[in-house]
Amino acid sequence: MQAWFGAGFFALFLAQACAGKQASNSTASVGPTLPVENSTKREAMLPRPHILLHAPEVLALHKARWLADRQHPEPALTRLLDDARQALTEKPFSITEKTAVPPSGDKHDYLSLAPYAWPDPSKPNGLPYIIRDGKINPERDSIPDHMDFSRIVALTETLGLAYYFTGDETLAEHAALLLCTFFVVPATRMNPNLNFAQGVRGKENGRAAGIIDTAGIARLVDGVALLSDSKSLSKEDMNGLLGWFRDYLTWLCESELGRREGQAKNNHGTWYDTQVVALALATGQVDLAREILQFSHKRRIGRQIDPDGRQPGELQRTKSWHYAVFNLQAFVTLAGLGDRAGVDLWRYQTADGRSIRKAVDWLIPFALGQKIWTTPEIGGFKPEALRPIVREAAFRLQDAQLAEAAAHLGAHPDDRLRLFVE
């Protein structure tokens, strides 16, 4: 495996847990001992965390401020620590606990139902189910795997961040227990595939579109990385997690369902790219990550965003605002990953003007109430959904106009995003 020791995140992690190599060119991941006598030096010399999705130097700055004055933590940090205390009460869980059995007969296989699939009222038994775009069938929640995957992502992210700030091994120990139960221990681990994700009863056992169920995997990777220095996550455990990441990446790239999802021309394709790139970077396959990112210039930005910033593939949906924001969040995620691999998606623009920035600019007037959203939105228009995207873009592009728009959109003082972009 090729170890990556570039601008960021898994340098120390990969060296210790995977290849046993020495990081030779990493200035972002490894730093000198934190001084205690001078806050300015503290901020300048604090080692940066091994993260992909956000600027590690900003998170390190917030940690330095807290170490300088632990009696007055920022509201966002207070919320994080409260969330971490709650996370400690979560018991280990596994997808093998579901009562439903996948078509393979193996409960280790992930299983979920298409959220918009409903019984056909014209058929006596309702089969095969039909798609009613935007309307979630509550039957989906009868199989908990999609909720459990979201839970493990959120818990790992929370415990990893809190461990980074506090160094409390209790947090890392609990995260290791949750992670190993879900991904490593043979009796409870999830098989690294989504062969049976978002099935449609009476029609298909699994769909390429089901790969969207693991869209948050880059956050999981970041959470694991933040725990990489902990003594509670052993080398064996770390190798087990990396092995799962490698195997799932292989499935995404080589399975029929994975290849089909990679060809999707809407948010499914964008989120597919974020997963492949994040897992490639995490496992040291930097050339693959860069290949996907470079291809995303034309395949994603060039095809999914119009020159004026519209996203036509999302605007035709019954929840058009939701999906326009959702796809843009995928672009922001992909651009953040690009920063770690040396591929600039933030500033990329096609010859006819298509860009991530154009997509952000096109949505802002609607979120600010300056324009009326006229395409269908059966879920209700929620302008606040754009807030984190604008704040992230303003920070990444160092753009005053975007920063002003972000300020108008507002943010709660305890918003955890503040730990990454302010």
In this predicted structure, what is the pLDDT of residue 199?
A: 98
Residue 411 located in a structural domain: yes
Residue 3 located in a structural domain: yes
In this predicted structure, what is the pLDDT of residue 411?
A: 86
The residue ranking higher by pLDDT, 15 or 418, is: 418
308 with 371: CB under 8 angstroms?
no
Calpha distance 341→287 (Å, rounded): 9
Instruction: Say whether both 16 and 141 belong to one domain.
Output: no
pLDDT at 154 over 70: yes
Query: pLDDT category, 45, cuts 50, 70, 90?
Result: low
SS3 call for 6: coil
The answer to which of 142-156, 163-177, 242-256, 403-417 has the lowest mean pLDDT is 403-417
Which residues form the domain of 213?
A: 76-263
Calpha distance 80→58 (Å, rounded): 16
Angstrom distances, CA of residue 131 to CA of 139, 193, 232: 14, 24, 46
What is the Cα 120 distance to its own chain's centre?
Answer: 34
β-strand 130-131 against 196-199: which pairing, if any? unpaired
How many domains are contained in the chain? 3
Mean pLDDT, rounded, for 308-335 = 98
Instruction: Say whether both 82 and 65 belong to one domain.
Output: no
Calpha distance 191→276 (Å, rounded): 17
Mean pLDDT, rounded, for 344-366 = 98
50 with 59: CB under 8 angstroms?
no
Query: pLDDT category, 47, cuts 50, 70, 90?
Result: confident
Instruction: Say whether both 340 and 254 belong to one domain.
Output: no
In this predicted structure, what is the pLDDT of residue 43?
A: 47
Here the tokens at position 85 are 């205390």
Residue 330 located in a structural domain: yes
Q: Tell me, what CATH number does 388's domain have?
A: 1.50.10.100
Instruction: Say whether both 229 and 351 belong to one domain.
Output: no
SS3 call for 307: coil
239 with 17: CB under 8 angstroms?
yes
pLDDT at 30 over 90: no
Instruction: Say whether both 218 and 141 belong to one domain.
Output: yes
pLDDT at 218 over 60: yes
pLDDT at 20 over 80: no
Instruction: Say whether both 115 and 51 belong to one domain.
Output: no
Give the number of other Cβ atoms within 10 Å of residue 57's Cβ.
13
Instruction: Say whether both 193 and 318 belong to one domain.
Output: no
In this predicted structure, what is the pLDDT of residue 42?
A: 46
Residue 268 located in a structural domain: no
Instruction: Say whether both 57 and 152 belong to one domain.
Output: no
Among residues 72, 104, 132, the one where a domain terminates is 72
The β-bridge partners of 117 are 131
Percent of the chain with pLDDT over 90: 87
pLDDT at 244 over 50: yes
Calpha distance 32→122 (Å, rounded): 69
The β-bridge partners of 130 are 118
Among residues 16, 39, 72, the one where a domain terminates is 72
In this predicted structure, what is the pLDDT of residue 14?
A: 37
In this predicted structure, what is the pLDDT of residue 9?
A: 38
In this predicted structure, what is the pLDDT of residue 290?
A: 98
Calpha distance 122→203 (Å, rounded): 16
Residue 211 located in a structural domain: yes
Query: For the chain, what is the radius of gyration of the CA atoms?
Result: 21
Here the tokens at position 140 are 């989906």
In this predicted structure, what is the pLDDT of residue 48?
A: 85
pLDDT at 21 over 60: no
Residue 10 located in a structural domain: yes
In this predicted structure, what is the pLDDT of residue 403?
A: 96
Instruction: Say whether both 216 and 336 belong to one domain.
Output: no
Residue 81 located in a structural domain: yes
In this predicted structure, what is the pLDDT of residue 193?
A: 98
The β-bridge partners of 204 are 200
pLDDT at 86 over 70: yes
The residues near 296 (Cβ < 8 Å, ≥ 6 apart) are 270, 273, 334, 338, 345
Instruction: Say whether both 283 and 319 belong to one domain.
Output: yes
Here the tokens at position 39 are 């806050």
In this predicted structure, what is the pLDDT of residue 71?
A: 93
Instruction: Say whether both 8 and 128 belong to one domain.
Output: no
Percent of the chain with pLDDT over 70: 89
Mean pLDDT, rounded, for 248-253 = 98
Give the tens place of pLDDT for each residue, 48-68.
898 999 999 999 999 999 999
327 with 304: CB under 8 angstroms?
yes
Mean pLDDT, rounded, for 84-89 = 98
In this predicted structure, what is the pLDDT of residue 22?
A: 27
In this predicted structure, what is the pLDDT of residue 18?
A: 32
Instruction: Say whether both 58 and 145 belong to one domain.
Output: no
Among residues 25, 46, 72, the one where a domain terminates is 72
Calpha distance 328→339 (Å, rounded): 17
What is the Cα 342 distance to its own chain's centre?
Answer: 19
Residue carrying structure tokens 């753009």: 399
pLDDT at 5 over 50: no
Give the tens place of pLDDT for each residue, 363-398.
999 999 999 999 999 999 999 999 999 999 999 999
In this predicted structure, what is the pLDDT of residue 17?
A: 33
Average pLDDT, the chain: 90
